[in-house]
Each structure stands twice: as C-alpha cells, then as structure tokens.
Structure 1
C-alpha cells in the first residue's frame, strides 16, 4: 500500500487523514494516510525514516521551514514561499518540496466562492509564513494592488521587496489604512487568541468587500464576526483553503484532482457536531 503522512507537532487535531481518506475513496486510489507526531528537535531524522518506504508527506507547523531545507529540489512556488508543506519522493529516491497553500487559497476564493482577484484591491493582514506562502499565486491573478499590513512594518516591507517583481505589492502598518478595499485576508494568528487585528472598519465597503480568515473553528472567528457586523458582502473562513491545499497535494502525488465539495461539506458537518 502506498504510504503518506502529515508531519506536525502537535498533530492530533489534524483533519488531513480524514481529508485524504475521503479523496482516496472518491477517486479510487489505493493509499494509506496517517498523522505522524515528529519530535520538535529532530524532524529531519523522522522524515528520512518515513521516506525509506513512504511516498509523500504533508508538513504543518512548526516544520515547514525544516522541510524546505530537507528537500533535494524545490518547485518554483516552494522557492518563493520559503517553506514546504508537501514532500514527494521522486523516482531516484530524492525528495522534492512543494508549497500548495497559495494554490489552495486562490482556488477556494476563485473557484469555490466565485471571487475574482483580477483588478482588485487586496489587503493581506500579517507578514509571517502564511502570507509569504500565498503571495506568488495571488499576484499571478493580477490584482490592481496588494498591500501587506503588519504590526512590525519592517517585516511587511521585506516581503513586499521580495515579491515586487511579480506585481503591485506594497507594505503598510495597520493604522495607516482607512480607504475601502475589495478583499481583506486575515493571515495573522489573532483569531487563535480570540483577538482582532487592529484595523479600521472603514476598510470594509458594506455590501462590496469580501473578508477571508485563514483560521476556522466551530464558531465564526473574531475576524469573521467583525466582518459580518460591518456589512461585508461575503465572509469566509479557512476551512476551504485547508481542503483545497490538500487537494493540490493529492494531485501532485497521484495525478488526480479530487472534488473538494463533498469533502468540505463533511468537514463542516463534523466541525458543527463538535
């Protein structure tokens, strides 16, 4: 049986085994997918042991940068992202690193939610790895502008400089922004702490602005609640991104693209059931 895993620490909460089991059933692929708790101080040895027999792995926090260093080769999007969330064992036994996070986000927005990014004013909140991982695919959609806002402006400026060859990307502090935008994406970890990024409500044009939180939960995140209260046209959480980045990884490994709609519906059902 072809073996795949997701590495993380912690990893018990991971939805990836369920997602990939459903993908495999749907597409008739024979594979085994499990979660593997990698030691914080020795991810590399753990991964190398698995890949003696395993064929592919997803990588979640806190190992995406280590997976980047472990890979023998990198896809263009992984190089840009500076992090790897998908490892594949090639025919010669070497490991290729890829990053499917950005493709997952764009597909969730464009295909699932019907939100065009072309010509739009986009605001990305945060300047960590989650933002770096999605910048290339987002800029490929040709937005009119993409602003990276962060508490530490220098971090946002560094990212803007790294990606300015791909499109109109710039940096900002949270408090500098007041004019409405077409799309706000929260890539900060504020929702995990029950907090909001310190941004002005004037950024939302009621009935027009779309708001997206990369986090998700049984209840709407604080950012999603805030967006709804201020009249956002559409409010989305990150569960669709989770399903779509997994589908992209499945496609990389198996050459088959699963239908995410029924899988996403099952994830929502289980999330609601608690």
Structure 2
C-alpha cells in the first residue's frame, strides 16, 4: 500500500463528545454562565457543553462526584456552596486559600480536585482593564465583610492601594478580616458611622443589600473627586447603591456584570489553558 493510499481519519470519525462543564448553585436558574461560556468556546472553536445545575443544599458533594463520574471536566460554584467546595478540594490555589472559598473546580487526571477562586481577579480585571480605574495609591472603601468581600481583598491589596477600608455593620467581623489580610497591605476596619468625614476614590459594594433593594448606610460625602462606585451585584437596572452614588458625587458607576464575565474567563483559562476575550461578551450581555 502506498503512503497516499492509507485511510485518513476524517473529522467526523474523531471523538466529537463535548467536554462537559457546569455551574452548581441554589438557586441557579438565573445564571448567565452558560451563555458566557458558550461565547468563550465559540472564540476558540472548542467543543464544550455547559449547564446550570440546581443542587439541593445538602447534596453538593454527592452532585460533584456524580458530575465527575459522568465525565465532567470542571465546575463553577456559586451560592451557597463556595465554602463546601473549599473543603472538598484536595489542592487549592493561593488565591483560593486567601479567599477561604472556591468558585472554580478542575478535575485532575490523577483523581484529585483542584480548587481555585477567580472572583477577586475578575473584579480587578473589570476595574483596571475594562473601566480603566487605577487602584495603585488610591483609597478604596469596601462595604460588607461576608464571603464575597473576603474573596476580593487579596487581589485588591496586590494592586497597592494607599489604603483599603472595610466597613461593616458588625465591626468585629470586619476587624477579623482586616487582621487576616494585614500582611498584604494597609487595611483598616470600621463601622459605617466612622466613615463620616472620610473620602474615597473607589467605593465597592460587596453587601447583599442590592438584592433586597436596600442601601448601605453611607454618609453623603464619602466620594472623593472623580470617584468610582462599583456594585458587585448586577441587574437589569442600576442597583440602589449605584443610583445613590451617582446622586452623591460618584463620577463613574458600574455594576458587577463585568466582574462576572472576567471571573468566568479566569475559570475558562484554568480549564482550557487559554483566556477568552471578554469585552464583546460583556457588551452582548448588556444588550440582553
């Protein structure tokens, strides 16, 4: 048989099974992640399948093992399972260790589970790359002291701000976070009443107030000149925090949709080894 006569495998004969990924949460039906990752895969011509999986609150570990057994390659993890995902991981990235939570799981070939946290990197990417906000040498105020805030403090401090202040209703909780992250930069914790007379260049809302249509109790003069207001939540219309911010001196107001896409891009990089372009994806989501 001549070399040219040998049968060549056609594309149709190659393995056409899509690589399976998913986001697990409760609730999860509202998730934009399937749409985002579909657009990412299209950029590279990758054959992937990405689903939003509702998981019973006490069935996370079982659901993860089942997804893996069915050939799953990786997972995004959202509320309320990020702490459980942290416990479930065999190995953790440095940023996941800092955050104390995992939002991205990669199943390794040796059977281990690798846990990462892409939230803080996603926030910093959105602020610095998409919104052109300089964080170095700036005064940053972060509202809240829950899991969402813990996940972003490390990456924010790596940008070398002049000062990062955490404000929270429960001050001891904020002080505990400040102590944990003190080794990474200048960080303080205060109650909302202690913000009177202080001004900040960047104010980030990491509380869940926006989900309830509420507003953290901020003093009216909290924004410095040219200040940026950022809400880690997002919706079809501006959050109460962003509406208030624009009325009280913020020059720029942005919601967390860009952060969502950027953290997803970091997850995609962890799974597939390439980082998708994000601006067009953000723009497409804004159009609805």
Tell me the TM-score range normalised by the shorter chain: over 0.9
Q: 2:113, 2:183 → 1: CA distance? A: 28
User: What is the aligned counterpart of 1:202 among 214, 221, 225?
Assistant: 221
Equivalent residue number for residue 180 of structure 1 = 199
For residues 177-256 of structure 1, what are the structure 2 equivalents within 5 Å?
177-178=195-196, 179-205=198-224, 207-256=225-274
> Residue 62 of structure 1 is aligned with which of 76, 80, 100?
80
CA contact (8 A) 2:221 2:249 kept: no
Question: 1:27 deviation in Å?
Answer: 1.7
Count of aligned pairs: 269
Residue number in structure 2 paired with 1:27? 44
What CA distance in whole angstroms lies between the structure 1 residues aligned with 2:248 and 2:256?
20
Q: Structure 2 matches for 1:89-238, cutoff 5 A?
A: 89-178=107-196, 179-205=198-224, 207-238=225-256
CA contact (8 A) 2:192 2:218 kept: yes
Whole-Å separation in 2 of the counterparts to 1:61 and 1:170? 27
How many angstroms does 1:39 deviate by? 1.1
| TM superposition score normalised by structure 2 | 0.92
Cα offset, 1:231, TM superposition: 2.5
RMSD of aligned residue pairs (Cα, Å): 0.8
**SS of residue paired to 2:260:** helix
Gaps of 5+ in 1: none
Alpha-carbon distance between aligned partners in 2 of 1:258 and 1:82, rounded to the nearest angstrom: 26
